[in-house]
Amino acid sequence: MRTVSFPDGTRVSALGQGTWAMGERGADRRAEADALRLGLDLGLKLIDTAEMYADGGAEEVVAEAVDGRRDEAFIVSKVYPHNASRRGVVAAAERSLKRLRTDRIDLYLLHWRGGVPLEETVAGFEDLRESGKILRWGVSNFDTDDLEELFGFPTGRACATDQVLYNPEARGIEFDLLPWCAARGIPVMAYSPLGQAGRMLRNAALRTVAERHGATPAQVALAWVLRQPGVIAIPKAATAAHVRENAAAAALALTAEDLTTIDQAFPPPSRKRPLAMI
């Protein structure tokens, strides 16, 4: 499994696990936790969640998944913007810690920018880091101008990552955001790397490339995201079969011909585009 390094030198698997929409149905929680545990077995050590997902239910699924295996997992969670005041972010993190049944969050992110001044959120993150409740912090859905502002703060350069939408359909970040982060040694976390509702995976180009390799379109889409150095993909998988399919994508090497085929269907950006978000 290829790894990606955070600015402090901590390395994680380039392919992780997402939990968006997990924890919404009590009847599904055991299967979802089982899927996350299988992912840990297969080397997908990073698990991404958020207080927003199922109103904390996804964090509870993660807690069940890592029970007895906490030190194997790298847990990422996210705070709502309206909870991101200096005191509010501390309270939100403590609620997440309780749901996760752990004493620390490996990486804690601002889910998106809201009305709270960014410098105040950063101060709260630093309070949490100094207390050991989080080990590092970052942001999500930040464009380059947001990151420039962040890096202008005295402690803003402690930002460990930017989590953004990235897949063949949404590749605007290749124009400026990816190079900006790469130049500063900041990994990018790609959410929804498989697109939404399976629409992208029905594209003829992805199917053609998949046939060349005896793979699935989903595996091709993941391999395409992972081709970028310094990028971590966090697809969600709630079944054992889906987890195994995702994990196998880490070994898929796309050729120049494959990349050309995908570029023809999903052209790379030639100018700055607004940051895509879901």
**Residue 70 located in a structural domain:** yes
Question: Which pLDDT score, from 0 to 100, does residue 161 have?
Answer: 98
What is the extent of the structural domain holding 76?
Answer: 12-192
**Residue 259 located in a structural domain:** no
**Residue 54 located in a structural domain:** yes
Question: Which pLDDT score, from 0 to 100, does residue 198 have?
Answer: 83
Question: Which pLDDT score, from 0 to 100, does residue 60 have?
Answer: 98
Burial of 259 (C-beta count, 10 Å sphere; 0-12/13-18/19+): middle
Question: Which pLDDT score, from 0 to 100, does residue 1 have?
Answer: 81
> Are 28 and 238 spatial neighbours (Cβ–Cβ below 8 Å)?
yes
CATH number assigned to the domain comprising residue 167 = 3.20.20.100
pLDDT under 70 in the chain at which residues?
A: none
**Residue 269 located in a structural domain:** no
> Are 221 and 233 spatial neighbours (Cβ–Cβ below 8 Å)?
no
**Residue 238 located in a structural domain:** no
Question: Which pLDDT score, from 0 to 100, does residue 197 have?
Answer: 72
What global pTM score does this model have?
0.97
Angstrom distance (rounded) from CA 260 to CA 258: 5
Question: Which pLDDT score, from 0 to 100, does residue 112 have?
Answer: 98
How many domains, the chain? 1
